[in-house]
């Protein structure tokens, strides 16, 4: 490998009101390497890449390409320097075709007329060469997320970019698509292109990168060769303290039945069959019961039916001895806290401040209101207490608008709010989705702590690792039914996978047992 | 975590006020340019009348007429200011109506219909209950409450359609507007409320003063003699403050805003989203109904009852009043006064120059147009604020910028 650095970002400092997003960060990208940029949510990875791509101007520091100082004022400058970026949220025009999206901004024209034929040839050649299968004439809104990403990659290749930035590219992909992407990235590197790979997923970084630069809270922590390090060391660098990658917990001591579900049926909005089809189970105090399954097998609807967000068409739900089958959401909430699947849709009012969001479930309590007037002082005090206790970070503390917070901290705020309700049942739906190691560790430990306090925890997760390590008992859902009950200590990931895929199912008798 | 209070220019509220001021100033400048063009292109007007016109656009409220020599005179004009306050009253109320709905995520374009229903209810009560047997003050109160109730019911209808059948409130409001227009005509057509005494007037109903019902002046007529002003403006201001308190300080306001901002999250938190949508539209409707009550119960205002072909502008003008105020209830007091001031300016132009009041309609239209852009202007102001922070493209500036930053965060 050449020692020459193709891109150097030296002593970059970028501030935003109330926060230093990048504090004297140095990043050196060698020619032909895959360089991972690792850090927790809010560590400054995306800001640093936006600086490189010309979206932000740094207060201090300089960028060099091939040793020459360059000034990148906007993305056009970046493109001219051969820098391309696949954003976390794709920048595609939904109603344009794939081809139109690829050439947009770099169109070949003759006398003002588009020369699509040449463009098509070039794109086709690129797509074949790298195995980036796309349908050039399909509209972007009609293709899968994986294909949209390939369109973004082709956009960079079409512009002959030699420095490719991938901002959390795997977050939206299926495991197979992730493998394909890794292969493509290796292929690029072999050809001498240089790749910056932003991620907080350690497995992927270990699998594909040559070197790793770690950021933490806006500061540069260090750069290491991937072959000289391991997951544990990287996560320690990222979080700044030894991290438990495995969940540590004592054996569960299940107590009384807290939640009993009998024959619950929830109709589907998507098809005529029931999304949840005659499901029965019970959750006990002091255990973490996990509903596992591939996305879209009725887990979300099951939770909607339990929490009252949707009406069940049949069945009975008993919570703490009370029949809540037809109760309002508020009445169900008297004994159940709910960490919702979609934190932006259900979990937060994004345009409210953090403190307003933290009392979303509690504003009617006498300590926060007197005769219908909200006691702002009490709200502020409570919010500050939760923020401190649960380490929710934000630019302006309690008055930060929720929308401006990082995803991890938004989730922490929800967890803080729900766990602090101190209710016998905690329903947690994909509580760690999209979060980094530090946050995941934290949320897992919170859920285990609540379990040990005698709460019943009902967890819905799509992550096999999480299912296996966190739960005390696993129920597998497939096509709206519970097809198996497993003991995580006695089962394997492979067996769990078979149930999830519908290849195996337990008899009704076994399920009852 | 660094925390610092934003300085005055960075504050959200400052930017909102600034954006609205810019809209207003641009509107008035456009009006002035029109006046100038008209003046120069019309030999009977000329440059000096154009100059008079422009001065009236900006200062018409304080115009006291012309001196013997023909020059414009200025000073405290109690009639103009009093009338401005009187005309501002219903605008403040419809502005509040639109603003409340906006704050809760709904677009209340139904203010004209709610205003009409409020008018009908107020007038029927005010004229229908004989003041020989019932005290006039009590009749006034009943008529006021009746107007509010009628408006609330009329607002609640689109609210219910939205909440239970998910029908867009804008469509439903437009429908209910025209239903109200025809309904009101139908109710008054052939009724005993038609003014048949003054036979020069057709399609007007009696002033409420006919039944001795009129809003008390509360001493305002002493401050602004020779004007129509009455206690209504005080009621409007008090209501604006109450709405502000409701929206910012109470659990109900919290719920309404939560529903408006994210209906799903509100439902998740156990808030009855359907009830809140209906409630929010009912409150908005009541405010529009009160607008009508306060206007028509003054005693001197006449209602043209054959409304089936047109909707009251006061209802629609609530939209720019709310927009200019960025939906802030207290801001609505000022923008409402501003809009009615333009009315007065129109009158002054007609009285004192060869221009007519329609020039102010142009100004209002431009401002309405720009007020829709006040968000854009606000964004531009925000951007400017940020740009000042980022270093310019020359490297030498950077350290100076950082030094300034350091000072601010300290």
Residues A75 and A191 in one domain: yes
Mean pLDDT in residue range A52-77: 89
| Confidence (pLDDT) at B393 | 35
The Cα–Cα gap between B367 and B359 comes to 13
Percentage of residues in chain A having pLDDT higher than 70: 97
Out of B249, B268, B405, the one facing A374 most closely (by C-beta) is: B249
Interval B317-345: pLDDT, tens: 898 899 888 889 999 999 999 989 988 88
Q: Tell me if A132 is assigned to some domain.
A: yes
pTM for the complete prediction?
Answer: 0.75
The reported pLDDT for the residue numbered A513 is 39
CATH number reported for the structural domain that contains residue A504 in this entry: 3.40.50.300
Which residue on chain B is closest to A304 by alpha carbon?
B268
> Chain B contact for A59, CB < 8 A?
yes
pLDDT of residue B383: 64
Q: Are A102 and A219 in a shared domain? A: yes
Residues of B in contact with A394 (CB under 8 A): 1
Identify the pLDDT of residue A87.
Answer: 83
Asked whether the beta carbons of A188 and A161 are under 8 A apart, the reply is no
d(CA A261, CA A254): 17
Is pLDDT above 60 for B187? yes
- Domain co-membership, A34 together with A126: yes
Q: What is the pLDDT of residue A279?
A: 92
pLDDT value, residue A36: 93
Question: Does position B29 have pLDDT exceeding 90, yes or no?
Answer: no
Give me the pLDDT at residue A473, please: 92
Q: Cβ separation of B1 and A59 shorter than 8 Å?
A: no
Q: Are the C-beta atoms of A476 and A290 separated by less than 8 Å?
A: no
pLDDT at site B97: 96
Burial B286-309 (b: 16+ CB within 10 A, else e): bbbbbbbbbbbbbbebebebebee
Same domain membership, residue A505 and residue A410: no
CA distance A79 to chain B (A): 19
- pLDDT computed for residue B290 by the predictor: 96
ipTM above 0.90, yes or no: no
Give the range of the structural domain holding residue A377, as residue numbers without chain letter: 346-422
Residue B228 token pair = 């129509």
What residues of chain A lie within 8 A of the CB of B270, using their CB?
328-333, 361
Cβ contacts from A onto B, under 8 A: 96
Quick: pLDDT tens for A80-123.
Answer: 899 998 887 788 888 899 999 998 887 777 777 888 888 899 99
- Confirm whether A88 is domain-assigned: yes
pLDDT at B346: 86
Which pLDDT does position A43 carry in this prediction? Answer: 82
Is B267–A309 a contact, with Cβ atoms under 8 angstroms apart? Answer: yes
Inform me whether the pLDDT recorded for B20 exceeds 70.
yes
- E-strand ranges in A125-173 read 163-167
φ, ψ for residue B168 (rounded to 5)? -55, 130
Same domain? A324 vs A366: no
Alpha-carbon distance of A183 to A164, in angstroms, equals 15
Distance from CA of B270 to the nearest CA of A (A): 4
pLDDT of the residue at B35 = 85
Same domain, A385 and A480: no
pLDDT in tens, A232-268: 888 888 888 887 777 778 888 888 899 999 999 998 8
Answer yes or no: are the C-beta atoms of B332 and B91 closer than 8 Å. Answer: no
Judged against a pLDDT cut of 50, whether residue A432 lies above it is answered with yes
Give residue B251's pLDDT band: very low, low, confident or very high (50, 70, 90).
Answer: very high
Task: Judge whether B1 is closer than 8 Å to chain A, CB to CB.
Answer: yes
Three-state DSSP class for A485? strand
Domain extent listing, chain B: 78-341
Question: Which residues have a Cβ under 8 Å from the Cβ of B242 and sit 6 or more positions away?
Answer: none
Residue ending a domain, among A358, A392, A422, is A422
Q: With an 8 Å Cβ cutoff, is A74 touching chain B?
A: no
Q: Is residue A341 part of a domain?
A: no
Tokens of A492: 């394997």
Inter-chain CB proximity A309 and B268 less than 8 Å: yes
Together in a domain, A211 and A321: no
pLDDT of residue A512: 43
Whether A222 and A260 map to the same domain: the answer is no
Contacts 24+ apart (CB under 8 A), A370-378: A372/B250, A372/B251, A372/B252, A373/B249, A373/B250, A373/B251, A374/B249, A374/B250, A374/B251, A374/B254, A376/B249
B252 close contact with A: CB closer than 8 A: yes
pLDDT higher than 90, residue A225: yes
Alpha helices in A194-265 (DSSP H): 202-208, 231-239
Exposed, middle or buried, A509 (CB in 10 Å: 0-12/13-18/19+)? exposed
Burial class (CB in 10 A: 0-12, 13-18, 19+), A227: exposed
Q: Is the dihedral of CA B70, B75, B81, B83 positive or negative?
A: negative
pLDDT of B7 reads 60
Span B179-186, mean pLDDT? 92
Query: Does the beta carbon of A57 lie under 8 angstroms from any beta carbon of chain B?
Result: yes
d(CA A451, CA A424) in angstroms, rounded, equals: 10
Report whether pLDDT(B382) > 50. Answer: yes
Residue B394: per-residue pLDDT: 34
The pLDDT-based confidence of A172 (bands split at 50, 70, 90) is: low
A361 inside 8 A of chain B by CB? yes
Question: Domain total for chain A?
Answer: 3
For residue A227, tell me if it sits in a domain: yes
How many residues in total does chain B contain? 410
Identify the domain boundary among A380, A396, A422. A422
The whole-angstrom separation of Cα B69 and Cα A292 is: 92
Q: What is the pLDDT of residue B405?
A: 35
Interchain proximity A57–B269, CB inside 8 Å? no
In a domain, A102, yes or no: yes
Nearest Cα residue to A58 out of B392, B134, B364, B237 = B392
CATH fold of B78-341 reads ABC transporter involved in vitamin B12 uptake, BtuC (1.10.3470)
DSSP conformation class of A213: E
B275 CA: distance to closest CA in chain A (Å): 13
pLDDT tens digits along B273-298 = 999 999 999 999 999 999 999 999 98
Residues A229 and A292 in one domain: no
Asked if the model's pLDDT at residue B384 lies above 70, the reply is: no
Tokens of A103: 């050439």
Residue A33's alpha-carbon distances to A11, A36, A194, A229, in angstroms, are: 21, 9, 5, 17
Continuous H helices in A393-455: 407-419, 437-452
Please tell me the distance from the alpha carbon of residue B331 to that of residue B316, in angstroms, as a whole number: 18
What is the residue whose two structure tokens read 């910028």?
A: B401
Question: What does the block give as tokens for B268?
Answer: 């998740």
- Give the range with max mean pLDDT: A38-52, A387-401, B240-254, B348-362: B240-254
Task: Write the pLDDT tens digit of every residue in A364-397.
Answer: 889 999 999 999 999 999 999 999 888 888 888 8
pLDDT at residue number B11: 67
The answer to whether position A271 is within a domain reads yes
Which of A239, A259, A276 finishes a domain?
Answer: A239
Q: Which residues contact A267 (CB under 8 A, 6 or more apart)?
A: A274, A275, A313
To the nearest whole percent, how much of chain B has pLDDT over 70?
89
Residue B380 CB contacts under 8 Å (≥ 6 apart), including other chains: none
pLDDT digits (tens, 9 = 90+) for B127-175: 888 888 888 889 999 999 999 999 999 999 999 999 999 899 999 999 9
Rounded to a whole number of angstroms, the distance between the first and last alpha carbons of chain B is: 13
Question: What is the predicted pLDDT for the residue at B3?
Answer: 42
Residue A475 pLDDT > 50: yes
Looking at residue A494, what is its pLDDT? 79
């Amino acid at each position: 490998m050449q020692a020459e650095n193709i891109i150097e970002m030296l002593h970059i400092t970028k501030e935003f009101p109330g926060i230093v997003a990048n504090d004297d960060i140095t990043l050196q990208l060698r020619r032909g390497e895959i360089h991972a940029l690792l850090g927790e949510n809010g560590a400054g990875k995306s800001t640093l890449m936006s600086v490189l791509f010309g979206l932000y101007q740094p207060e201090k520091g300089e960028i060099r390409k091939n040793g020459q100082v360059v000034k990148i004022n906007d993305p056009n400058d970046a493109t001219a320097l051969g820098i391309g970026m696949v954003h976390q949220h794709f920048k595609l025009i939904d109603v344009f075709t794939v081809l139109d999206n690829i050439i947009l901004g770099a169109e070949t024209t003759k006398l003002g007329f588009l020369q699509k034929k040449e463009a098509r040839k070039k794109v086709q050649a690129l797509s074949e060469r790298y195995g980036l299968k796309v349908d050039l004439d399909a509209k972007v809104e009609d293709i899968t997320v994986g294909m949209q990403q390939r369109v973004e990659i082709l956009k960079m290749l079409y512009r002959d970019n030699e420095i490719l930035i991938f901002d959390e590219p795997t977050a939206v992909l299926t495991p197979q698509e992730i493998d394909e992407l890794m292969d493509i990235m290796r292929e690029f590197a072999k050809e001498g292109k240089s790749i910056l790979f932003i991620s907080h997923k350690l497995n992927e970084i270990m699998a594909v990168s040559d070197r790793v630069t770690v950021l933490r809270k806006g500061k540069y922590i260090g750069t290491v060769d991937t072959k000289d390090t391991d997951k544990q060391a990287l996560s320690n660098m990222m979080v700044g303290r030894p991290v438990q990658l495995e969940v540590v917990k004592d054996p569960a001591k299940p107590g009384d039945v807290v939640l009993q579900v009998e024959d619950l049926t929830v109709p589907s909005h998507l098809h005529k069959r029931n999304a949840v089809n005659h499901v029965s189970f019970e959750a006990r105090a002091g255990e973490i019961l996990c509903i596992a399954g591939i996305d879209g097998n009725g887990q979300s609807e099951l939770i909607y039916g339990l929490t009252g967000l949707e009406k069940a068409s049949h069945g009975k739900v008993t919570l703490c001895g009370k029949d809540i089958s037809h109760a309002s959401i508020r009445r169900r909430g008297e004994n159940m806290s709910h960490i919702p699947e979609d934190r932006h849709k259900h979990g937060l009012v994004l345009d409210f401040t953090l403190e307003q969001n933290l009392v979303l479930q509690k504003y009617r309590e006498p300590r926060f209101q007197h005769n219908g007037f909200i006691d702002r002082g009490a709200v502020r005090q409570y919010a500050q207490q939760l923020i401190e206790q649960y380490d929710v970070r934000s630019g302006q503390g309690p008055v930060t608008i929720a929308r401006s917070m990082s995803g991890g901290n938004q989730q922490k705020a929800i967890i803080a709010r729900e766990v602090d309700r101190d209710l016998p049942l905690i329903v947690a739906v994909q509580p760690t989705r999209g979060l980094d190691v530090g946050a995941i560790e934290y949320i897992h430990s919170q859920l285990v702590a609540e379990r040990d306090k005698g709460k019943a925890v009902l967890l819905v997760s799509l992550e096999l690792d999480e299912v296996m390590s966190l739960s005390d008992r696993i129920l597998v859902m497939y096509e709206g039914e519970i097809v198996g009950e497993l003991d995580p200590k006695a089962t394997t990931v492979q067996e769990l996978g078979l149930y999830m895929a519908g290849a195996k199912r337990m008899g009704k008798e076994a399920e009852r047992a | 975590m660094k925390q610092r209070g934003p300085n005055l220019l960075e504050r959200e509220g400052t930017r909102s006020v600034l954006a609205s001021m810019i809209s207003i100033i641009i509107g008035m400048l456009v009006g002035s340019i029109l006046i100038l063009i008209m003046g120069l292109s019309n030999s009977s007007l000329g440059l000096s009348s154009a100059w008079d016109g422009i001065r009236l656009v900006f200062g018409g409220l304080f115009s006291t007429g012309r001196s013997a020599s023909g020059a414009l005179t200025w000073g405290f004009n109690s009639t103009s200011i009093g009338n401005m306050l009187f005309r501002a009253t219903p605008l403040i109320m419809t502005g509040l109506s639109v603003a409340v709905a906006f704050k809760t995520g709904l677009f209340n374009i139904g203010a004209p219909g709610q205003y009409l229903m409020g008018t009908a209810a107020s007038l029927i009560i005010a004229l229908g209950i004989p003041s020989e047997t019932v005290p006039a003050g009590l009749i006034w109160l009943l008529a006021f409450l009746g107007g509010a109730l009628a408006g609330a019911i009329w607002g609640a209808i689109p609210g219910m359609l939205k909440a239970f059948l998910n029908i867009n409130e804008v469509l439903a409001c437009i429908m209910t507007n025209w239903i109200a227009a025809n309904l009101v005509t139908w109710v008054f057509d052939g009724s005993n409320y038609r003014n048949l005494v003054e036979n020069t007037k057709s399609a007007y109903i009696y002033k409420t003063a006919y039944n001795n019902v009129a809003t008390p002046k509360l001493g305002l007529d002493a401050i602004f003699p020779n004007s129509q002003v009455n206690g209504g403006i005080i009621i409007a201001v008090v209501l604006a403050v109450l709405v502000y308190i409701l929206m910012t300080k109470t659990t109900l306001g919290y719920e309404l805003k939560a529903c408006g901002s994210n209906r799903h999250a509100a439902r998740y938190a156990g808030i009855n989203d359907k009830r809140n949508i209906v409630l929010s539209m009912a409150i908005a409707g009541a405010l529009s109904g009160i607008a009508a009550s306060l206007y028509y119960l003054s005693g001197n205002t006449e209602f043209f009852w054959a409304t089936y072909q047109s909707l009251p502008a006061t209802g629609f003008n609530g939209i720019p009043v709310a927009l200019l105020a960025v939906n802030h209830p207290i801001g609505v007091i000022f923008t409402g006064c501003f809009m009615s001031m333009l009315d007065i300016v129109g009158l002054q132009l007609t009285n004192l120059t060869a221009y007519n009041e329609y020039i102010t309609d142009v100004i209002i239209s431009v401002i309405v147009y720009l007020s829709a852009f006040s968000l854009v202007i606000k964004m531009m102001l925000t951007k400017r604020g940020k740009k000042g922070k980022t270093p310019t493209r020359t490297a030498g500036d950077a350290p100076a910028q950082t030094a300034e930053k350091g000072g601010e965060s300290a």
